Amino acid sequence: MKMIIEKVKVVELTMEDGTKILRRGGEDAVRRAWDTYPIVSARWTGEEETMQWIPEEPRLSKQEIEQYVAKEIMSW
């Protein structure tokens, strides 16, 4: 099982009504939000965060996930 680790920029999005939300995940995440919400501006906050995830395929059993998480926690 391979974990994907990626450093991404944090972007502040401003909607038409002035509401601000933070979006993480890079340019694709901002583009998806722009297509979904009434966004009028996007500004990089200057922050970056590390995102980690395990690809969905192949599916793991609940026991395999618990074992993996326990192993990762023990390595902290």
Whether this model's pTM surpasses 0.85: no
What's the count of helices (H) and strands (E) in the chain, helices before strands? 2, 3
Q: What was the pLDDT predicted at 65?
A: 85
User: Between vectors from CA 47 to CA 22 and to CA 41, what angle results, nearest 5°?
Assistant: 45
59-66: long-range contacts (C-beta < 8 A, 24 or more apart)?
60/1, 64/1
* Beta-strand runs (E) in the chain: 4-15, 20-24, 39-53
- Amino acid residing at 35: D
Q: How confident is the model at residue 15 (pLDDT cuts 50, 70, 90)?
A: very high
Could you read off the pLDDT of 29-45 as tens digits, one per residue? Answer: 888 898 999 999 999 99
Could you read off the pLDDT of 19-75 as tens digits, one per residue? Answer: 999 998 878 888 889 899 999 999 999 999 998 988 877 677 888 888 888 888 887
Domain definitions of the chain by residue range: 4-74
